[in-house]
Amino acid sequence: MRHNIVWGMISVVGVVVTLLGAGKLAAQDGYESEEIEALTLLEQAVAHYRERGEEALPAFSRQGAFVTDKLYVFVLGLDGRMLASGGPSHQLVGRNVTEQLPPDLREAFESKVLGLEEADGVQQAEYRWRNWSEARDERKRVFFQRVGDRVLAVGFFIRRGSADEAIALLERAVEALERDPEGALAAINRHDLAYLQDDLYVYVVDRDTSRFVAHGYNKRMIGADFSSLVDAKGQPVGRPMMAAANDDAVARHAYLWINPVTRKVEPKETIFKRLGNYVVAVGYYLPAME
């Protein structure tokens, strides 16, 4: 079973969380070591809980055996209470997190997370959370699974994508568009995780109209005029990219853009390619210049 959910939470530490989507992880999606480590820790935690039951909860605390340098387990009851956490969310232990939510968001949280069936297996979602080591809110991915009347979860902060990963994502999007244009555009626009990897995302522009027909991160861009796009310094972005997309070769364009993960203006290079009447693009961010 796949879930597509949108909800938010304001925790007692003032963190705003927005889940973007959830679904079972496919190994071919190109996820790397962080995902494997998180899934491995969740699998071990689930096995431990199934063996020990409620006696396992102390092992998921900050002093427990299920805390690594980067990862920790947290546990929710089906009533919404935080029962255990090996990370900063230990401050929520004993509290009902659903009480923090507006009515519409509470309903989504209760149905999609607390209403998860054990047979659904491992699910995943993305949200924003405070990275205390970096002193900022960042995108985080969480894997979670229901065991009995508990939901066990492990999350990790999304890392910076590389040029090679941007190229691989572009190639995957081009192949999908060649195979099934309508299906691929729909998948990009619903923010399918196959086209939204860490801080990388796909977008597609119609060459005749110069307008976005798909955007893997911001649906409000669909229909917007790409040719009029300028960067954070007012330099043209869309116009030179449209001019360079005049054959089937891969092209590149560098500019300054807001990174949706750090929410800072950073140097970005977009790799793009003409595909028939489309321009297909994926950009990656470089460390911000001081």
From first to last of its 290 residues, what are the pLDDT tens digits of the chain?
333 333 333 332 233 344 444 444 443 333 357 788 899 999 999 999 999 999 999 999 988 889 988 899 999 999 999 999 998 888 889 999 888 766 766 777 788 788 889 998 998 877 666 666 656 566 678 899 999 999 999 988 877 788 999 999 999 999 999 999 999 999 999 988 788 887 899 999 999 999 999 999 888 999 999 999 999 999 999 999 999 998 778 999 999 998 776 667 889 999 999 999 999 999 999 865 44
- Residue 163 pLDDT: 92
> pTM higher than 0.75, yes or no?
no
What distance in Å separates the CA atoms of residue 43 and residue 198, rounded to the nearest whole number? Answer: 22
What distance in Å separates the CA atoms of residue 95 and residue 99, rounded to the nearest whole number? Answer: 9
The SS3 call for residue 38 is helix
- Residue 21 pLDDT: 47
CATH 3.30.450.20 segments of the chain:
163-285
What distance in Å separates the CA atoms of residue 5 and residue 112, rounded to the nearest whole number? Answer: 7
Decide: residue 99, CB within 10 A, 0-12 exposed, 13-18 middle, 19+ buried: exposed
CA-wise closest residue to 189 among 28, 68, 24, 21: 21
What distance in Å separates the CA atoms of residue 161 and residue 155, rounded to the nearest whole number? Answer: 18
Angle at 168 between CA 274 and CA 202, to 5 degrees: 55
User: CB-hemisphere CA count at 13 Å for 38?
Assistant: 26
The CATH T-level fold of domain 163-285 is Beta-Lactamase (3.30.450)
- Residue 98 pLDDT: 84
Number of H helices, E strands in the chain: 5, 13
Architecture of domain 7-157: 2-Layer Sandwich (3.30)
